[in-house]
A and B are shown apart, each in its own frame.
Chain A
Amino acid sequence: MIEMHDVWKTYPNGAVALQGVSIRIDKGEFVYVVGPSGAGKSTFIKLMYREERPSKGSIFVNGFNIERLKERKIPLLRRQIGVVFQDFKLLPNKTVKENVAFALEVIEASPKKIKSRVAEVLELVGLGDKANALPNELSGGQQQRVSIARALINNPSVIIADEPTGNLDPDTSWDIMRLFEEINNRGTTIVMATHNKEIVNTLKKRVLAVEGGQIVRDQKRGVYGYEN
């Protein structure tokens, strides 16, 4: 599903973000990516949906060869991957419904399909009654649910989340984690970068620890392993 072989990433300014990373993530796995800030977590994640290109090495995601992927084929890759961010990335002047529908509009789905699919995913994330609200009328947790609904709408086989609970209080974080777990139970692969020690140590999953641009630890049902 996701495979990296000896992946290196050097930014144009000379900063070395990854040094020879090789991993394999299978379909249906739930993986935490942990490590200190600036260790290369973000780069590692951005490579998966081709926001960044590897400098060396090969990456396969859902059968797409990332380093050979042509610029105009990137959208095809991204339609198979849902991405969730710490800051939600919602459009403030669009309603919840419109924000979620946006991801289907850009792939030219029919209005009928958009309508039924939007209702379906909003129900799934527990926001069926907030469809017409604007993002700033919602709590942080609810906004993150909207962005998860948007990530889910294309029925992606992988969800990539970059610190999805980073801006949320502990209770809300747990609600969001339960949602991710439910999504994972339906068979969707989840790769999540996180700094949340409590969550990683309680909701035990595979843990990849990134330090100095290398994978220093790969544990099944692992622990966070850092002091916050």
Chain B
Amino acid sequence: MKIRTIGRHGREGLRNLNRNGWMTFASVSAVTVTLLLLGVFLILAYNVQLFSQQLESQVEMNVYVKESATRADVLELERQLKSLPELASVTYVSKETGLDQLRDKLAENANLLEGLDQENPLPDKFILKAKDPQTIAAVAQKVQTLPLVDKVNYGKETVEKMFKGINIVRNAGGVFVVGLCFTALFLISNTIKVTIFARRREIEIMKLVGATNWFIRWPFLIEGLLIGVFGALVPTALISFGYQYVLSNYPGFMYFTFAPASLVYSVAAILVSIGALIGMIGSVMSISRFLRI
């Protein structure tokens, strides 16, 4: 394609936007509403994801060592655990440390433990964290088979319920994002279809005098792209200011801190790209029928 032609396509695209003023306004508004929803949702989804990651990262497993194990056995077991590729961290807690920790937890009731120093009933243990917390059940099974391991405990029931909940939220979020994208695609392609319908005579003549399909498509593609990008501007601005406002007033809840304000840059980039992409796909989709001459 020649440079001159690129200029021509750009001019045509802009002229089309201008010539179909109301339709342009309608499509830009449709994109604006959809992308605003999508943007708000993305911010929510990202924070939920962050929150669930934090939850997940607290999932750990206690591996209790058999009482018969000697000091050397414990070291050997530690070496074996550390060689497992699924594990992110292995922390050794001796029975003495364990007792101290228990004492701290009980605070003023620590006197209940008096006299246990000589006859410590706690076993030595390791605290493990998996690289992917969701695989913890499988890792636990594997660790259980090691010699000298007495018992593995990771709060099976609770953890499984939590993972189930997190996964449902994640999947629902994915479906929702895809659904919103399709809605936007449908809206844009429908609007452009109306404007193309008014210009089908022009397209027909172009085909008859020997224009290639891409020569005809380009102006529509640029038109769609601009509709998408214009449609992304308002949601981007609203979400940027809105999220910063929320952060300055409510930085988080309980021990969870919301994602930092820089998140809005990513969301803005995503919204503009999705707007542009959907605009182009929408226009190419709706023009294809008219190119069959």
Contact = CB atoms under 8 A, between A and B. Distances in A.
Nearest to B1: A108
Interface residues of A, number: 22
A105 interface: yes
Given A89-B204, A105-B8, A150 B209 contact: yes
Interface stretch (B91-99, B155-163, B211-219, B247-255): B211-219
A80 to B, nearest CB: 8
A103 B201 contact: no
Nearest to B291: A71
Nearest to A78: B210
A103 B4 CA distance: 16
B175 interface: no
Contact of A89 (B5, B201, B210, B212): B201
Contacts of B202: 91
B208 A83 contact: yes
A108 B4 CA distance: 8
A167 interface: no
Nearest to B205: A89
Interface in B194-245: 201-202, 204-213, 215
B141 to A, nearest CB: 58
B210 A75 contact: yes
A79 B210 contact: yes
A104 to B, nearest CB: 9
B213 A72 contact: yes
B210 A76 contact: yes
Interface string A86-120: 00010100000000001101111011000000000
Interface in B1-17: 1-2, 4-5, 8
A129 interface: no
Contact of A103 (B2, B5, B8, B209): B209
B1 to A, nearest CB: 8
A169 interface: no
Instruction: Specify which of A75, A83, A110 lies most central, judged by the most chain B CB atoms within 10 Å of its CB.
Output: A75
B168 interface: no
B201 A51 contact: no
A89 B207 CA distance: 12
B interface, by DSSP: helix, strand, loop or mixed? helix
Contacts of A111: 4
B210 to A, nearest CB: 4
B213 A108 contact: no
A44 interface: no
Contacts of B205: 89, 91, 102
B172 interface: no
Contact of A108 (B2, B201, B204, B207): B2
A184 interface: no
A91 B201 CA distance: 8
A49 B210 CA distance: 10
A41 B42 CA distance: 60
A106 B209 contact: yes
A154 B210 contact: yes
B72 interface: no
Instruction: Specify which of B5, B8, B204, B208 lies most central, judged by the most chain A CB atoms within 10 Å of its CB.
Output: B208
Contacts of A91: 201-202, 205
B293 interface: yes
B214 to A, nearest CB: 9
Contacts of A105: 8
Interface of B: 1-2, 4-5, 8, 201-202, 204-213, 215, 293
Q: 9 tightest A-B contacts by CB?
A: A106-B211, A79-B210, A78-B210, A103-B209, A75-B210, A75-B212, A108-B5, A83-B208, A108-B2
Given A83-B209, A103-B209, 14 more contacts: A49-B208, A71-B213, A75-B210, A76-B210, A77-B210, A78-B207, A78-B210, A89-B204, A89-B205, A106-B209, A106-B212, A108-B4, A108-B5, A150-B209
Interface of A: 49, 51, 71-72, 75-79, 83, 89, 91, 102-103, 105-108, 110-111, 150, 154
10 contacts: A51-B208, A51-B293, A72-B213, A75-B210, A83-B208, A102-B206, A108-B2, A111-B4, A150-B209, A154-B210
